[in-house]
Amino acid sequence: MKALNDKDVEMISKKAQDIRASIIEMLLEAGSGHTAGPLGMADIFAAMYFHVLKHNPKEPEWPERDRLILSNGHICPVQYATMAHAVYFPLDELKTLRKLHTRLQGHPHREYLPGIEVSSGPLGSGFSQAVGMALAERIDNGRTSQKYVYALISDGESDCGIVWEAAMLAGKNRLQNLIGIMDRNGIQIDGFTWDVMPLEPLRDKFESFNWHVIEVDGHNIEQFVAAAGEAQSVNDKPSMIIAHTIPGKGVPEFERDYHWHGKPPSKEEGEHALKHIRTLGGKITSECD
Amino acid sequence: MFDEDVEQVPLRNGFGEGLLEAADEDERVVGLCADLTDSTRMKSFADKYPNRFIQTGVAEQNLASVASGMAAMGKVPFITSYAMFSPGRNWEQIRTTICYNDRPVKIIGSHAGVSVGPDGGTHQAIEDIAITRVIPRMVVIAPCDTHQAKKATIAAAKTDTPVYIRLAREKTPVMTTKDTPFEIGKAEVFWRGERPQVTIISCGALTYNALIAAKELSGEGISVTVINIHTIKPLDEETILELVKQTGAIVSVEEHQKKGGLGSAVAELLIQKHPVPMEMVGVDDRFGQSGKPEELIEEYGLGISHIKDAVKKALERKIH
């Protein structure tokens, strides 16, 4: 991974704002879907696709690519939007989200859209599939493999037993090529994670399962990319980046409110949100700036 | 074959031998097990290929999804546990991460049927055919003896689809040979009576009971055909229809719930293409329990006399 300079950070931040605008547009058009998670993960997705990940949008099946597994499949609007901005497919296609015969299924399906590694949605098992990929890569290319498997999971998802079954197996096999990224946004469908099912101490839990744990501000590009670099350099265990994020990030009305977990904005709310995102919260007055 | 000292070998042994042969032939074959390596006969593979063996511990959901991830990287994974736990406990992971994802994972469920015996109802999978055959893309195989289990394993390794192979714990009669043909999706006639009056269709080790029933019935002047159908999905519709058209009545035999198993699959076909009187030998909406295998076979209505009674009933319905 190349070093990150100020220009890169600016470019990634700009991409993240574009991705957020696309997410709102998609949800408005679809009339259903998840709002908070996708907005909250826009910075990390931008950093992954525009800096961290080894990939080739022109050749999604390129064998040497890193694997990015979205285990909490319901936040797929952020992945679709990011992929479109990375030119996997035309931006226009984003409008087909959740419609009949679309390649952009409500929860991602790998057979519909090249570049999606696993069909996911039922929580926890994408993480487990990522462990399987890292194990297979270990069998083929040993401990020095530079092909990384990035498993994006969420905090609410970690209520699932399979997450810990997978975490145990990865720790036991010291899968240095596996890098988990947890969206620690504190919300799930029924409420705040600490009310629904307390998860802390998450750091201690993963460390006790033989994982290297790094905590970052999930909206700080430099911190996140540095954490990814640190995770790549750990050579005797898997890494978990716990990314503290703000659900609904970028639109003050949506931020930190768990009611936005699983519903789309209305037309009015969406247009207001778009204006806010495009003017960077009023910091710029013209969309042409 | 009908001698009292007929050779008896557990189905799971055939799987163990088949896995070794498949692994020797294809280095993409990997094995994963949830803490039942010896019991599911994966041990010889694990000993010979330690680098291709993954011990997941008692974690069947993870077992299925890790295998899917390995398949995504080009491996041909075999996963083993007891059928009650895989495909039982981990059904959704099999459905979504293996079948919906179209990954060629081979699911090996041992200890199916009430003949598991003393362990009791918790460990006797009699719903596994039903829950696997409803999943799109899944191939479902219930071998009748150790040779068929071995051939099914080798054949499964060569397919690019998910496959479920149902195995059993106990020693059961060997009724085929190393040379008996085997092709996934192809039913075989094991007994062909002269001018047969009823067709018996059977999967698994109970096929032996079906053959003894056929022999005894022929002494009573009733002629039958016995089809051994190892592949429950895809169903060999052509062979079934051809033989049912000859007899006009059918009896299904399986160590599984009547609801949703082989009998249901055959009934779904016949009711649409060629309805005839049909009787089912299977477990009638009950759970298993502890006991000796042979006692349980009788208790649950799966014995030779039950098959003969079902044939007579089907015959009577055909006549009247």
Q: Which two tokens stand for residue B199?
A: 């067709």
Q: Which residues contact A171 (CB under 8 A, 6 or more apart)?
A: A209, A210, A211, A237, A238
Sign of dihedral through CA atoms A32, A38, A39, A42? negative
State the residue range of the domain holding B287: 188-319
Say if strands B188-192 and B224-228 run parallel, antiparallel, or are unpaired.
antiparallel
- Tens of pLDDT, residue by residue over B192-239, are 999 999 999 999 999 999 999 999 999 999 999 999 999 999 999 999
* ipTM confidence score: 0.95
Disruptive mutation site among A62, A165, A175, A177 for chain B (greatest number of B CBs within 10 Å):
A165
Tell me if A119 and B96 make a contact (CB, 8 A cut-off).
yes
- Same domain flag for B12 and B158: yes
- Same domain flag for B67 and B141: yes
Q: Which of A118, A140, A162 sits opposite B72 (nearest CB)?
A: A118
B180 belongs to a structural domain: no
Point out the residues of B that are catalytic. 60
Beta bridge partners of B173: B8
- Same domain flag for B198 and B148: no
- Same domain flag for B147 and B258: no
B1 belongs to a structural domain: no
CATH number at residue B221: 3.40.50.920
B208 belongs to a structural domain: yes
Measuring CA to CA, which residue among A282, A136, A261 is closest to residue A192? Answer: A261
Measuring CA to CA, which residue among A264, A225, A265 is closest to residue A241? Answer: A225
- Same domain flag for B298 and B153: no
pLDDT score, position B300: 98
- Same domain flag for B165 and B32: yes
* CB interface of A with B, residues 171-210, below 8 Å: 173
Q: B115, B138, B173 — which closes off a domain?
A: B173
Give the C-alpha separation, A284 to B44, whole Å: 69
- Same domain flag for B157 and B210: no
Distance from the B141 Cα atom to the nearest Cα atom in chain A, whole angstroms: 25
Query: Structural domains in chain A?
Result: 6-278 (3.40.50.970)
pLDDT score, position A285: 62
Tell me if A166 and B70 make a contact (CB, 8 A cut-off).
no
Q: B113, B140, B173 — which closes off a domain?
A: B173
Tell me if B69 and A131 make a contact (CB, 8 A cut-off).
yes
Residues in chain B where the model's pLDDT stays below 70: none
- Tens of pLDDT, residue by residue over A260-274, are 998 999 999 999 999
Cβ–Cβ contact B68 with A under 8 A: yes
Measuring CA to CA, which residue among B96, B103, B102 is closest to residue B32? Answer: B103
Cβ–Cβ contact B33 with A under 8 A: no
CATH number at residue B83: 3.40.50.970
Round the average pLDDT of chain A to a whole number and report it: 95
- Same domain flag for B13 and B133: yes
Amino acid at B25: E
Cβ–Cβ contact B81 with A under 8 A: no
Half-sphere exposure of B215 (CA within 13 A, CB side): 11
Q: Return the residue of B nearest to A66 by Cα.
A: B73
pLDDT score, position B319: 80
Disruptive mutation site among B30, B32, B52, B65 for chain A (greatest number of A CBs within 10 Å):
B65
- Tens of pLDDT, residue by residue over A64-119, are 999 999 999 999 999 999 999 999 999 999 999 999 999 999 999 999 999 999 99
Q: B138, B173, B208 — which closes off a domain?
A: B173
pLDDT score, position B17: 98
B3 belongs to a structural domain: no
Cβ–Cβ contact A143 with B under 8 A: no
B35 belongs to a structural domain: yes
- Same domain flag for B31 and B89: yes
The CA-based dihedral angle spanning residues A24, A28, A31, A33, taken in that order and rounded to the nearest 10 degrees? 0
B296 belongs to a structural domain: yes
B250 belongs to a structural domain: yes
- Same domain flag for B165 and B314: no
- Same domain flag for B253 and B305: yes
Tell me if A125 and B97 make a contact (CB, 8 A cut-off).
yes
Q: Which of B51, B52, B62 sits opposite A128 (nearest CB)?
A: B62
B57 belongs to a structural domain: yes
Distance from the B98 Cα atom to the nearest Cα atom in chain A, whole angstroms: 10
- Tens of pLDDT, residue by residue over A154-204, are 999 999 999 999 999 999 999 999 999 999 999 999 999 999 999 999 999
Q: Which residues of chain A does B69 touch, with a Cβ-Cβ cutoff of 8 Å?
A: 118, 128-136
Please count the structural domains in chain B: 2
Grade residue A286 by pLDDT with cuts at 50, 70 and 90: low
Measuring CA to CA, which residue among B151, B203, B201, B197 is closest to residue B172? Answer: B203
Cβ–Cβ contact B59 with A under 8 A: yes
- Same domain flag for B255 and B314: yes
Round the average pLDDT of chain B to a whole number and report it: 97
Write the burial class of residue A252 (CB in 10 Å: 0-12 exposed, 13-18 middle, 19+ buried): exposed
Return the number of other C-beta atoms located less than 10 Å from residue A32's C-beta.
Answer: 11
Average pLDDT of span A244-255 = 95
